[in-house]
Amino acid sequence: MLSLFFVPYILLEVPSNILLKRFERPSLYMGMLVTTWGVIMTMHGVVSNYAGLLALRSKCQSEDL
């Protein structure tokens, strides 16, 4: 399951750092990231089967792009 997070993390790490440097107040950007991450992790806890997990991950990856 952990491997599901590895590819998007690697692909989006550099663009995220570039975007972070463009904000005057990086704390706003970091707050949005933490809140979004919390919602996604909560939804991962709510799914009850493998199909739900795959649907959630595909939805999250489409929003990341």
Separation of CA 18 from chain center:
16
Q: What was the pLDDT predicted at 63? A: 58
Query: What residues contact residue 53 under an 8 Å CB cut-off, 6+ apart?
Result: 44, 47
**Residue ranges per structural domain of the chain:** 24-65
pLDDT tens-digit profile, the chain (65 residues)? 567 678 878 888 888 888 888 888 888 888 888 898 888 888 888 888 888 888 887 776 665 54
Report the alpha-carbon distance of residue 13 to residue 51 in Å, rounded.
Answer: 27
Verdict on whether the full-model pTM lies above 0.85: no
Cβ-contact 43, 56 below 8 angstroms: yes
